[in-house]
Structures are given as structure tokens and as C-alpha cells.
Amino acid sequence: MNPRELSDGAWKALLVFLVIAGLGACATSQTGTALTATPTSTTSAASGGLALAATVTATTPADPLAADFAQLMSQVAERVKPAVVQVTNEQSLSFASQSGEIPVGVGSGVIYDEQGHILTNNHVVESATKLLVSLPDGRAFPATLLGGDARTDLAVIQIEGDNLPVAHLGDSSQMRVGDWVIAIGNALALSGGPTVTGGVVSATGRTIQEPATSQGPGPFLFDLIQTDAAINPGNSGGPLVNLDGQVIGINTLSGGSAGSGVQAEGIGFAIGTSAAKPLADQLVATGKVVHPYLGIGYVPLNPALSARYNIPVSYGGYVTTVTNGSPADQAGLQADDVITEVDGTKLQSDSDLALILSQHKPGDEVSLTVQRGSQTLNLKVTLGQAQVLAQAQAGTN
């Protein structure tokens, strides 16, 4: 036998080995995604399932990987649900000689770190004298309000407990229209654990004004994720979750309240975590959020509006009022100016102006590119500080 060749026996052994390896390769190459986390929920009751109230129930499609997808939705829901809490807002009320705390509202929240910090909406905890947090595993804790911000409708509360389930915050800016999401929360305050609904990201970057309250017009919320996963009263403050099991939004509004009394369906909005996380951090650190202040009233432009009014730019802020003595006034902004760029960044959606400004701090200097008639100007503004308790008005900043 030539010493540089393998013996017949060796080739036979190699062949057998390769057959076995080949079978293994075939088997594993068909495997879909496997989540590494094991479900921790002890709740045995089946939760809501997909919100698609189909006249026909979805049957298993021919695509073999789609079966994995169906399981993926429920696996993600089971993994995150334990960290979705019910937040009960109790207030002191006195009738005649009786007084005490009674529950005036129920919403949702999500435990996002091991220290028991819970992210929720400000409107869920507003005016509470006592906050009660209940977990799906049956445990209940009193909660401390660390801070709430009416302008962004976010709040952070905290509970003290051992072995708390946690749902981590992800990066909402990675979400794409058409991606699947799951909403988890205490819809209609139904007893027996939170509700799970599923749907897709319908749009990103939405700007919606919250409904008015007895205290005045609602604040504008920016850069919202829109979804057709069912969001109902009671869902407020609960998480919107991606298929990697990360919280990418805080469910805040359902479409029914999107103005003009129109009954909408399949339209809900969540505050993206990319915006919410830094605000949550500020609330934990200082108890409040400091907002930069410009001092203008403006109408956000979009292509249809610009085309209609013959404004030469598709997007921007059309200034309607300039507050006397404000930073905008001092910088020389005037009514009828159109702000087209901030620090050289062209405005490309109708919430860009507010969004970019909101990323600044009081004291920051920003450069505004302004269209005044046929002139293009560059104005430098030093941002002031907004009053913390003032209700935001239509397109003001």
C-alpha cells in the first residue's frame, strides 16, 4: 500500500462517519429559532391569544417555518408576561365622616430591572395617594412614585421584592413597519392575569395629541409606534414587545381617542423605548424631566399641507406665534417663518422638529435654518427650560 494513501478500511470508516454527520446536518439545518430562556410564569391559564378576531381561524400554513413562528409568539408572551404588572391608583376620598383610599383606576406597567423599577404611563399614576402593584404570580407590593412627567406621559415607580421577574428594554428604533409585536396589559382590568394581543407595527414616528382632560388640552406625544395589536383601556403603561422578547414600547393610546369622535379599530400607539429609556433614567435620578424650551407655536408641515398652501418645502415647522421674551424671540424668529433644518439636519417628518428639540437640554445652543419668504436665514437659539407643570399646548415648544 502506498504510505501516502489511506487504507480501504480508513475510507470505509470515513464514509460511515460522513453518513452520520450528513444526517445530522440535514436535521439541524431545518431547525428554527430556539429561545434560550425558559418560561418562568406559573400562571397556567391560557392567555388571550392573538387579537385577530377572524371569522376564519388561521390554519397551519404550508410553510414549515411558519409553525415555529406561531410558537414564537406564545413563547415571547410567556417569557415577558410575568413582568407585566397591574398598577392600581388609589386616592384619598372623604364622604361625610368616612375617609380612606379607594381605587380610582387600573393600568399596567413593566418591571424593567432587578431593582424593581417599573415603567408606566404618567396618567396611570397621576394624583395617586397610594399605588398598589400586583404581579401575575399573585404577589402584591406597595409602590413608590420616583417621578412622573405629564408632557411625555411617562412615570417610573418602584417596588421592593426578591426574585422579581424582569423584561428588558430594547431599541425601538430598530422596529420596522410590518414587524410583529405583542401587547401585554390589563385590558379592561379583567381579573385573572394580563391580556396578550398580537399584531404588526403599522407605522413609526407618529405624532398624536392625547385627549383633553379637565386640566386642558392633552400633550403631544412624539415618535410613537402605531400597531394593530388590540390596545384597550387598562393596557396603558404596559409593554409592547418584539419577537426577541424585548420591550420596545409602552402602550399609551388607543385609536378611539384619535380625535373627531370617530370610532377606530386596530389603531393603537406606544411610546418607543428609545425615547422612554433616557426619560426613565432622568426620572429615577432626579424625580422629574427637564424639557428644553423654545417659545413658539407652530404647525408641523407635511407634503399634502405644503402642496395646498404652496409652501416650497414638504416638511418643517410653520411658526404661528413667538412668545415675547422667549429664546425664540431673542434669536429673531418671527411668525410665518418656516423652520426647515435644526443643526443642519433637514426636517423629514412632521414630528422631527419637536423630536430633535426634545433631545436637547436647556442651555444648549441650536442653529435653526429658516425660510422667510424667499430668504434663507440661519438663527442661533439658546434653549431655555420649560415649566415642569405646564400642560403642553398644540405644537408648542
Partner 1 sequence: MSKGRLYRVGAALLLLSILGILAGSNLPLSLFGDSVPIVQAQPAAFRDAIYQVVEEVKPAVVQVTNEQVGLAGFGQSTAIPVGVGSGIIYDAQGYVLTNNHVVEGASKIIVSLPDGRAFPATVVGQDPQTDLAVIQIEASDLPVAELADSSQPAVGDWVVAIGNALALPGGPTVTAGLVSATGRTIQESPSSNASQQIPGSGPYLFDLIQTDAAINPGNSGGPLVNLNGQVVGINTLGGGSTGQGTQAQGIGFAISMSTAKPIADQLVANGQVEHPYLGADYVALNPALSAQNNIPVPYGDYITGITTGSPAAKAGLQKDDIITQANGQDLTGDSDLALIIHAHKAGDELSLTVRRGSQTLTIQATLGTTD
Q: Mark residue 234 as left, alpha or beta (left: phi above 0; alpha: psi -120 to 50; beta: remaining).
A: left
Instruction: State which of positions 163-192 bind partner 1 (CB under 8 A).
Output: 176-180
Name the active-site residue from 47, 236, 314, 349: 236
Tell me, yes or no, if 123 is annotated catalytic. Answer: yes
- Please state the φ and ψ torsions of residue 25, each to the nearest 5 degrees: -65, -40
Q: Are 87 and 109 in contact (CB under 8 A)?
A: yes
For residue 26, state whether it binds partner 1 (rule: CB under 8 A): yes
Name the active-site residue from 123, 314, 350, 352: 123
Tell me, yes or no, if 236 is annotated catalytic. Answer: yes
Find the shortest distance in angstroms from Cβ 134 to partner 1. Answer: 29
One residue of 4, 38, 46, 54 binding partner 1 per CB under 8 A: 54
If binding means CB under 8 A, how many residues of this protein chain bind partner 1? 73
Name the active-site residue from 47, 117, 149, 153: 153
For residue 49, state whether it binds partner 1 (rule: CB under 8 A): no
Cα(388)–Cα(123) distance, integer angstroms = 15
For residue 15, state whether it binds partner 1 (rule: CB under 8 A): yes
For residue 309, state whether it binds partner 1 (rule: CB under 8 A): no
Which of these, 182, 178, 176, lies nearest to 51 by C-alpha position?
Answer: 182
**Residue 44 is which amino acid?**
S
Q: Which three cell numbers stand for residue 385?
A: 427650560
Tell me, yes or no, if 360 is annotated catalytic. Answer: no
One residue of 47, 108, 195, 202 binding partner 1 per CB under 8 A: 202
Give the residue with the Cβ less far from partner 1, 65 or 388: 65
Give the residue with the Cβ less far from partner 1, 53 or 389: 53
Instruction: State which of positions 214-273 bind partner 1 (CB under 8 A).
Output: 226, 228, 243, 255, 258-259, 262-267
For residue 21, state whether it binds partner 1 (rule: CB under 8 A): yes
In SS3 terms, 108-139 reads as EEEECCCCCEEEECHHHHCCCCEEEEECCCCC
**Residue 41 is which amino acid?**
S
For residue 349, state whether it binds partner 1 (rule: CB under 8 A): yes
Q: Mark residue 336 as left, alpha or beta (left: phi above 0; alpha: psi -120 to 50; beta: remaining).
A: left
Give the residue with the Cβ less far from partner 1, 82 or 234: 234
Q: Are 83 and 117 in contact (CB under 8 A)?
A: no
Give the residue with the Cβ less far from partner 1, 52 or 390: 52
Strand partners, 98: 95
Active site residues per annotation: 123, 153, 236
